[in-house]
Structure 1
Amino acid sequence: MRSVTLVSAIMAALIGTVSATQAQVGLNTYADSKGFIDVQKLTCAQLAGTFQEDADFLGVWYSGWYNGLAKKHAINMPRAKEGIHEVIVHCKANPTKRVIQAIDFVLKSEKKGR
C-alpha cells in the first residue's frame, strides 16, 4: 500500500512539473516580428503562462504605464509588488480576460478596500 501511495505521489509530482514546464514560455513569444508586444491585447492566459521573471517584468512596465497616465512620478515598491502579485493571481483565475482588465479589477478592488 505504501509503495502505491509513493508511486502515485511521484507520478503526480512529475506530471505537475511537466505541465508547468510546458505551460511556461518566454515573454518574447508574444512579440511581433519587430519585437513589440501589444500590451492592450495581452491575455491573462499569456501572462500566467510566461516565466515568473517575465510576468514580474511586464507587471513593472504596466505599473509605470498606469502611473505615467496618472502623472505620478514615484513608485511605492512594496505596493507595486503586491499589485503585480494580485494581477497575476487574478489572471490565473481568469485566463480569458485581458491583462488590462485584470489590472482594472485589482485597482478597483484596492479602491474599495480603502
Structure 2
Amino acid sequence: MIAKKLILCCATAIMAGPALAQVELKTYADRDGYVDVQKLTCAQLANTFQEDADYLTVWYSGWYNGLAKKHMMQVDRAKSLEHEVIVHCKANPGKKVIEAIDVVFKEYRAEKGIKMKQ
C-alpha cells in the first residue's frame, strides 16, 4: 500500500513538471522500421503518445505471456499493470522498459502472494 502511495506521489510530481513534446512510437524505430523492445527506455515510453504506450505495453504483455505459455488475459489486471508500468517509467526514465515491467510484476506478485514456479 505504501509503495502504491509513493508511486502515486511520484507520478503526480512528474505530471506537475515541465511537459515534454510527445512523439510517435515509430520515432524510436531503426531505418527498417523496427523498434528494439529490449532496448527501449522508460523515457522513450513516457515520451510517446498514450495510444502508442498502450499499444506497446499490450505487445509486451503478449510477449511475456507467450514466453510463459499462457494464453489468457485478464483485461482489468492488464490495464492496471500497464498503468503501473507507465507510472514507474515516468519515475525512472533511465531504466529500460523491460526492467520496469520486471519491477512492477514482482511487486504485484508479492502484494498478491503469488509464487512463481521454478
Measured against the shorter chain, the TM-score band is: 0.7 to 0.9
| In 1: Cα distance, 2:22 partner to 2:111 partner | 33
State the alpha-carbon separation in 2 of the partners of residues 111 and 77 from structure 1.
Answer: 17
Residue identity (%) = 68
Residue aligning to 1:98: 96
Q: Which has a greater percent of helix?
A: 1
Aligned with 2:58 (options 38, 57, 60): 60
TM-score of the superposition, structure 1-length normalised?
0.81
Point out 4+ residue stretches in structure 1 off by more than 4 angstroms.
none
1:113 aligns with 2:111: yes
Structure 1 residue 71: Cα displacement? 0.3
Q: CA deviation at 1:60?
A: 0.2
Q: What's the CA shift for 1:23?
A: 2.2
Extract unaligned runs of 5+ from structure 2.
1-15, 113-118
Residues 1:77 and 2:72 aligned together: no
What is the Cα-based RMSD across aligned positions, in Å?
1.2
Normalising by the residue count of structure 2, what TM-score does the alignment of the two structures yield? 0.78
| Residues matched between the structures, number | 96
